[in-house]
Amino acid sequence: MKKTPVSLHNKTILVTGSPGFIGANLALRLLTEMTSGTVISLDNLNDYYDPGLKQYRLRMIEQAAQESTVNHLFVKGSIADPALVEEVFQIHRPDIVVNLAAQAGVRYSIDHPDVYMESNLIGFYRILEACRHYPVEHLVYASSSSVYGGNKKVPFSVEDPVDHPVSLYAATKKSNELLAHSYAKLYNIPSTGLRFFTVYGPAGRPDMFYYSATQKLAAGGTIQIFNYGNCKRDFTYIDDIIEGVIRVIQGAPEKNTGEDNLPLPPYAVYNIGGGTPENLLDYISTLQEELVRAGVLPEDYDFEGHRELVGMQPGDVPVTYADSRALEEDYGFRPQIGIREGLRRFAQWYRKYYSL
């Protein structure tokens, strides 16, 4: 797909969902990558997980901004708040929008559907409306590998049907793609959706398995391994995710006119995944080894005594596996960091952060 180059320099870039995990790392990278301009972080700092971790990431961003030639502004609030979104766009006129704000989590959506509707549907609609009335060079937004649901064909390709989500979270992410396509067609908004595959790394989300398992093991508890360990995940290290996002930002879908003299939707969707699905038991073994290496767990830790094999959870799928060839063809990028290196960095960060 042909792309229109988008420069990062001397631009105003709005990153919603910063200081969330991916958003914070993107903001940090932009403060390093850009030579001038403004990065706006927007997040409501909710308590879905420990707000202290978001404050920690925000302090990192603010410290990086002090050492950067780029301005940084943090706006606290919800993307579902129409007055706030209107104010941010009216005052700051962002050139680029990266929408990472969302209520995350597959299992949480089973018992808390209302927050997913507010953030993932109404919130995304507010962003689309703002991009309509205050045109942007490129809207990049987070989708998810969960849209593939129970698809049996692997690896997952963006050409595959994704009409049968197995969780409400997945349904909201597929809805985002449909809404973005409609707005691209109707209002000629260049937009790119990114289907992230199991993102992990330092200062990540505590509800993700690798992080919650570490907390339980460090406290002497037992971790549950779902589907009796017969799961495979396409784990993707945070630095690979950010490299992919940075490259995508700089290449917006090209605007064209169709035979009906109406805009062809400048719209694209890509997978960003490691491309090498890992067996869950192997991943856990690597995590435990790196936790011992980092001093989070003792040398004589009884791995087998702290594992419990259980059945599959509602909303979960047995395999995720990304076909990221389109990303490589259009942007020349594929993830590089394996789980050994990625989990080692996480374990080292975990020990330092919790002062173990």
CA distances, 278 to each of 25, 64, 146, 282, 352 (Å):
24, 34, 17, 7, 27
Question: Which amino acid belongs to residue 147?
Answer: V
Burial class, 183, CB count within 10 angstroms (exposed 0-12 / middle 13-18 / buried 19+): buried
315: left (phi over 0), alpha (psi -120 to 50) or beta: left
- Which three-class secondary structure state does DSSP give residue 78? coil
- Give the Cβ contact number of residue 60 at 10 Å: 17
Residue 284 contacts residue 213 (beta carbons within 8 Å)? yes
Nearest-angstrom CA–CA distance, 9 and 19: 22
- Cα separation, 52 vs 49, in Å, equals 9
Residue 245 token pair: 């996002």
The single residue of 116, 169, 321, 331 carrying the catalytic annotation is 169
Phi (first) and psi of residue 253, to 5 degrees: -55, 135
3-state secondary structure of 75: strand
Among left, alpha and beta (phi > 0; psi -120 to 50; other), residue 181 is: alpha
Peptide bond into 155 cis (omega under 30): yes
**Helix or strand (DSSP H, E) at 270:** strand 267-272
Q: 141 an active-site residue? A: no
> What sign results for the dihedral spanned by CA atoms 82, 85, 88, 91?
negative
Q: Do 87 and 39 touch, CB atoms closer than 8 A?
A: no
**DSSP-derived secondary structure letter, 160:** S
* Catalytic sites, residue numbers: 169
